[in-house]
Structure 1
Amino acid sequence: MVASKPLIPPRVPCEFCPLRRREKFRDFTDHQLAFVSSFKFGELAVDPGATIISEGEEHPQLYTALAGWSFRYKILEDGRRQILNYILPGDLVGLQGNLMREMQHSVEALTRVTLCIFEREKLVTLFQNHPSLAYDLTWIASREESMLDEHLLSIGRRTALERAAYLLSFLDYRAYSTGVFSEEGPAILPLTQQHVADTLGLSLVHTNKTLRKLADMGAVRWLDRGSEVLNRERLQSIAGWRPLNEEQRPFI
């Protein structure tokens, strides 16, 4: 496990949260902002490859991703890994640990990640006194369920080429819609071919051949550690997928 350390202090005050400036995120009311500021008690910086949460843990914290990429995954007894979804800024991490005794998946940092840490004990207060924020939590959980539905459809029914095109299209869209590409550097999806294989349920050899096909079609360019989408419309057409036209989304 790569070392990580809390940043308490310094921290980013909620009043100056960079997510509040991003077009796709809905801002808080003054009342909501005051509560979220008291709800947050610190930040955590995590290095690439570090485990943020381990399956089977009783996890006491709830996090919001402030910067960077990470992913949820499960591992079989023989070591085979299935990546379930990717976590970008604004996403919640560890909600299962607040509602269930044990985490049912693990979370690993894909890039350097900064997480806002929230007090588990105050989650009840949120539901009791801040129904609009409680609704936002429900929206976030429902959106996660919707994304997992699409991922399951992809693994179950799309061809290998369609699966790869969908995954890269989906992550490219999410990165743009959350402002990652516009504010956190070049528009490069930071996945290795092993990450793609573990997400799509394909062998590494099959994944390599599939990604080469997408590159030959001019849809993507594969780099040493990541990929760049060259033709968004072409990639979405291959996948048979179009992103939803979402309005501003909430975050905590």
Structure 2
Amino acid sequence: MNVSPPKSALNVSCEECPLLCSDSFRAFSQEELEFVSAFKRGELASSTGSSILLEGSNSPHLYTVLSGWGFRYKMLEDGRRQILNYIFPGDFVGLQNALHTEMQHSVEALSDMVFCVFERSRIYELYVKQPELGFDITWLAAREEQMLDEHLLSIGRRTAIERAAYLLAFLSDRAAAVGLFEKNSRIEPLTQQHVADTLGLSLVHTNKTLRKLCDNDTIAWHDSGFEIRDAEKLKEIAGWPGVSGLARPFL
């Protein structure tokens, strides 16, 4: 199932949401669907490379990724960047600012993206009127923490080749679960610089590490991204079991 948006991507009703057609997400009750439809304020289209949220800024909105993908990151004053995690269709974006006065990270689009937009000021209404949806948001926040734990483990304890294998297997699993790419064996667009900024390695070290994965025929890289040739071997190298296939909630 491909969750690319229909051509009328800026006028997508909740009843026709392409994510509802995916087995990766739990179904909504009619009452929940009606509430979310009233809760939603529209869609936002972002082009490749654009910033959706900026560290230090305040945003009146929360977002659900409808299509495309991007990444969350933080910057040091000297321009060095650490990519924290990647966002895929169904992910909830901007919740952190609901608890703080300003964003503590930035979000950038890796591809053209479409977001469902919600008013941040109404988030408490959701918890009061639809506690099950409130629990879903809590679940999504806990899942994000779980992923960040795994990423931190990777940066802190995995070797360079194990880090690279983990990252590409992780992205491949997450993309395949939501049918993000026409060819699930390809991860694109993604550059070696993105990989380096995620793994905490220099670009030279990243290049050498990726060459090792190419040499054992687990991946191939192209100008636009990476081809996954043996996802199971990548997981074996990383010592990582993969993403759970259980249906998850989204808003």
Correspondent of 1:186 among 183, 188, 191: 183
Which residue of structure 1 lines up, in the alignment, with residue 202 of structure 2?
203
Looking at structure 1, the residues matched to 54 and 160 of structure 2 have their Cα atoms a distance apart, in angstroms, of 29
Runs of 4+ in 1 over 6 A off after TM superposition: none
Looking at structure 2, the residues matched to 11 and 79 of structure 1 have their Cα atoms a distance apart, in angstroms, of 38
Matched, 1:240 2:239: yes
- Could you tell me which amino acid in structure 2 is paired with residue 195 of structure 1? H
Query: Aligned-pair distance for 1:124?
Result: 1.0
Which residue of structure 1 lines up, in the alignment, with residue 155 of structure 2?
155
Looking at structure 2, the residues matched to 231 and 247 of structure 1 have their Cα atoms a distance apart, in angstroms, of 22
Query: Aligned-pair distance for 1:244?
Result: 4.4
Looking at structure 2, the residues matched to 9 and 136 of structure 1 have their Cα atoms a distance apart, in angstroms, of 25
Query: Aligned-pair distance for 1:228?
Result: 1.1
Which residue of structure 1 lines up, in the alignment, with residue 78 of structure 2?
78
Query: Aligned-pair distance for 1:99?
Result: 2.1
- Could you tell me which amino acid in structure 2 is paired with residue 72 of structure 1? R
Structure 2: gaps of 5 or more residues:
1-7
Moved more, 203-212 or 170-179: 170-179
Q: Is the 8 A contact 1:60 1:98 kept in 2?
A: no
Q: Is the 8 A contact 2:40 2:119 kept in 1?
A: yes
Aligned CA RMSD, in angstroms, stands at 1.5
- Could you tell me which amino acid in structure 2 is paired with residue 14 of structure 1? C
Alpha-carbon spacing, 1:9–1:169, altered in 2? closer, same or farther (3 Å) = closer
Looking at structure 2, the residues matched to 136 and 11 of structure 1 have their Cα atoms a distance apart, in angstroms, of 25
- Could you tell me which amino acid in structure 2 is paired with residue 247 of structure 1? L
- Could you tell me which amino acid in structure 2 is paired with residue 84 of structure 1? L
Looking at structure 1, the residues matched to 187 and 98 of structure 2 have their Cα atoms a distance apart, in angstroms, of 30
- TM-score between the two structures when normalised by the length of structure 2: 0.94
Identical aligned residues as a percent: 59
Structure 1: gaps of 5 or more residues:
1-7
Q: How many pairs does the alignment contain?
A: 243
Matches within 5 A, 1:33-52: 33-52=33-52
Which residue of structure 2 lines up, in the alignment, with residue 121 of structure 1?
121
- Could you tell me which amino acid in structure 2 is paired with residue 122 of structure 1? R
